[in-house]
């Protein structure tokens, strides 16, 4: 509002719209806070009305961009377990992805809550660390998370709230192809982005 007032005073222009952006937080794990749209709307409206009244500005058309709050919960990353290593009280579960499709845990410590999908189990939970396939010390997708004690190679692990950044931040790290993106609606699945193949990478290689 202060910027809008300066633009009016210096240039004689009253801007009709205010875009306050987005980046609203989502819950990556059970118990975490998520975006309360009603509370956000009430607070923003009150602040905007007060600020415009003090600056003698008409209320602008307000725009918000809750992209992550929409896309994040809509996506689930699914990994296949490659190996399970138990050393004393620690369990390491290695999956077929990692830093190449989700660098966020390594970059700035985002924590996820993976869960076993695809088969039922009554095995008691055991704390485990889910690691990627890239042989890097920081290639950890989830640390100290409860997973069934009978988890084994071939199982599927799902990471909820993966819709906002997995696709946009995926890379060819260690020459691992990026995974596909599959849309699922009302029991029907279709490919939105196909899996990146070795041929895709080879096309960029000009050779000697």
User: Partners of 145 in the beta sheet?
Assistant: 128
Which residue is catalytic, options 13, 20, 46, 135?
Answer: 135
Is 52 annotated as catalytic?
A: no
Catalytic positions, written as ranges: 135
């Amino acid at each position: 509002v202060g910027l809008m007032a300066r633009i009016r005073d210096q240039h004689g222009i009253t801007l009709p719209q205010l875009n306050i952006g987005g980046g609203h937080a989502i819950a990556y794990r059970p118990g975490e806070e998520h975006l309360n749209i009603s509370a956000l709307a009430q607070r923003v409206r009150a602040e905007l009305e007060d600020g415009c009244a003090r600056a003698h500005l008409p209320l602008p058309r307000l725009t918000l961009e809750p992209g992550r709050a929409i896309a994040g919960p809509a996506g689930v990353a699914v990994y296949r377990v490659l190996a399970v290593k138990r050393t004393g009280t620690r369990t390491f579960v290695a999956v077929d992805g990692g830093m190449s499709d989700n660098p966020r845990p390594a970059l700035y410590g985002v924590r996820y809550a993976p869960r076993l999908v695809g088969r039922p189990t009554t095995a008691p939970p055991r704390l485990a660390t889910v690691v990627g396939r890239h042989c890097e010390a920081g290639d950890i997708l989830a640390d100290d998370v409860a997973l069934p004690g009978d988890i084994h190679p071939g199982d599927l692990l799902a990471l909820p709230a993966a819709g906002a950044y997995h696709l946009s931040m995926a890379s060819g790290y260690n020459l691992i192809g990026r995974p596909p993106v599959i849309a699922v609606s009302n029991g029907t699945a279709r490919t939105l982005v196909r899996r990146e193949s070795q041929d895709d990478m080879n096309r960029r290689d000009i050779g000697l």
